Amino acid sequence: MEVFDPSGATEVTVAFAKRLDTLEGKKIGLLSNGMWRADQALALLKDRFQERYPTSTLVHIPARERIQSEEVIEAIAREGYDAVVVGNAA
């Protein structure tokens, strides 16, 4: 017999953003959902990035659980970040 695949079609509609050539001079957001010590981990990463790339601007964004909300996404777009590290998916 022939049967349907139950998993549903999927579609890729958006390409990933282009990677940066360097972090020097870039504005990088560290977006935290406040879970699983994301604030602490991203704060340490921010310090390490800053040591290594002194001309970059690093901003900790404490979005808490509304990390995927329209307000947060619009704010990130408005602030002109070159890249964002999101955490913690745990």
Partner 1 sequence: MVLGRQDFVTVIRNAVAGVGLAPDIAMVVFPIDLFLVESDVGQVAHEADRFVDGLTRWRSAQSRTASRELPMLKVEGSDQLATFSEFNAMCIRRRWGDGLPLVPPTEDRVSWILRGTNLRRDNVVGKFMPRGGIVTMETLAIALAMAGGRPEYLPLLHAAVQAILDPALEHEGWQATSSSTFPVVVVNGPMAREIRLNAGFGLLGPDPQHPAGASIGRAIRLLQQNVGGALPGTGTMAMFGAMRYTNAVFAEDEEGLPPGWEPFNVGYMGYAKGVDSVAVNVASGADNIIRRGVGSETLDFEATSSLVRIATYMKSHNANSLPAHRTGTPGILLISRTVANQLAALGWSKRSIQEYLWEHSRIARGDLERSGMVAWMEHRDAGRMDEDPWPITNAPENIAIVVAGGSHPTHAFWMQTSIARKMTGAEIKRPAQWPALVASGAHELGYDAAG
CA terminus-to-terminus distance, the chain:
42
Minimum separation from the CB atom of position 25 to partner 1 (A):
13
The footprint of partner 1 on residues 4-43 (CB under 8 A) is 4-16, 19-23, 28, 34, 36-38, 40-42
Question: Is 50 in contact with 58 (CB distance < 8 Å)?
Answer: yes
User: Which residue shows structure tokens 């504005």?
Assistant: 27
Binding footprint of partner 1 on the chain (CB under 8 A): 1-16, 19-23, 28, 34, 36-38, 40-42, 44-45, 47-49, 52, 64-65, 68, 83-90
